[in-house]
Amino acid sequence: MLELCNVNKAYAEGRRVLTNLSYTLKAGEYAAIMGDSGVGKSTLLNLIAGLDTPDSGEIRINGVAISSLDDNAATQLRREQFGFIFQAFHVLPHLTLNQNIALPLLLNGTPTDRVEQMLADVGLRDRGHHFPRQLSGGELQRVAIARALIHRPKLVLADEPTGNLDPDTAHEILQLMRAEIKTNGATGILVTHSHAAAATADFVLNLTKDGLYPVKSERSE
């Protein structure tokens, strides 16, 4: 499903972040990525989502190189297939929670009846008409997660989705994520610093300067 081939990325001033990174994730796999702060985890997710471009190397999704897509095709791919959760959970401040969560459905032109249920699932039942400014950091993070999952994406990219949650809530939300990914037959990547969180994934990868390596053998399911 997801292939990384010799991906290189450096920022301005020659700051090398990812060097010759290669890895292949099969469809239906749910991987956790851990690694030191600043090693390039968020950068890697941005590259996979097509929000930024690698300096060299290729990223293929279902065999199609993202770089070969024009902007509209890449946008369409993101809209239909991707669920993205940012480290700095971005939401639109002037839309209600219901509206924020319904965004991917609206963009895809699909019915929005799932919004209420999703909101309830992340523990925000009856708050659909509130605005983001009325919510706590952890609640906002849950809104971002609900939005990323609402349209049943085929690829879920989650960047530290539970950083602001207490362990119990975090666990519930991570279980929800896992269940969604598995029922939809989707592929998932979970970036986290928490071993407990990483444990909800199928397996854990470690991102270092040298590359992406499995930490332990695949979890038996």
Ligand X SMILES: Nc1ncnc2c1ncn2[C@@H]1O[C@H](COP(=O)(O)OP(=O)(O)OP(=O)(O)O)[C@@H](O)[C@H]1O
Q: Is 42 in the site for Mg ion (CB under 5 A)?
A: yes
Q: Among residues 87, 96, 197, 185, which one has the least CA distance to residue 145?
A: 87
Q: Is 135 in the site for another protein (CB under 8 A)?
A: no
Looking at the Cβ atoms of 4 and 198, the one nearer to another protein is: 4
Q: How far is the CB of 151 from another protein (least distance, A)?
A: 9
- 70 alpha-carbon distance from chain centroid: 22
Q: How far is the CB of 194 from ligand X (least distance, A)?
A: 12
Q: How far is the CB of 18 from ligand X (least distance, A)?
A: 8
Assign 109 to helix, strand or coil: coil
Assign 47 to helix, strand or coil: helix
Q: Is 99 in the site for Mg ion (CB under 5 A)?
A: no
Q: Single out the residue of 80, 116, 172, 202 in contact with another protein (rule: CB under 8 A).
A: 80
Q: How far is the CB of 119 from another protein (least distance, A)?
A: 17
Give the number of other CB atoms < 10 A from CB of residue 58.
15
Q: Which stretch binds another protein (CB under 8 A): 31-39, 106-114, 121-129, 160-168?
A: 106-114
Q: How far is CA 104 from CA 5, 87, 177, in A?
A: 29, 19, 17
Q: Is 8 in the site for another protein (CB under 8 A)?
A: no
132 with 140: CB under 8 angstroms? yes
Give the number of other CB atoms < 10 A from CB of residue 154.
21
The site for ligand X (CB under 6 A) is made up of 11-12, 15, 17, 35, 37-43, 87
Interaction site with another protein (CB under 8 A):
46, 49, 51-53, 71-72, 75-76, 78-80, 84, 86, 88, 90-95, 99, 103-109, 112, 147
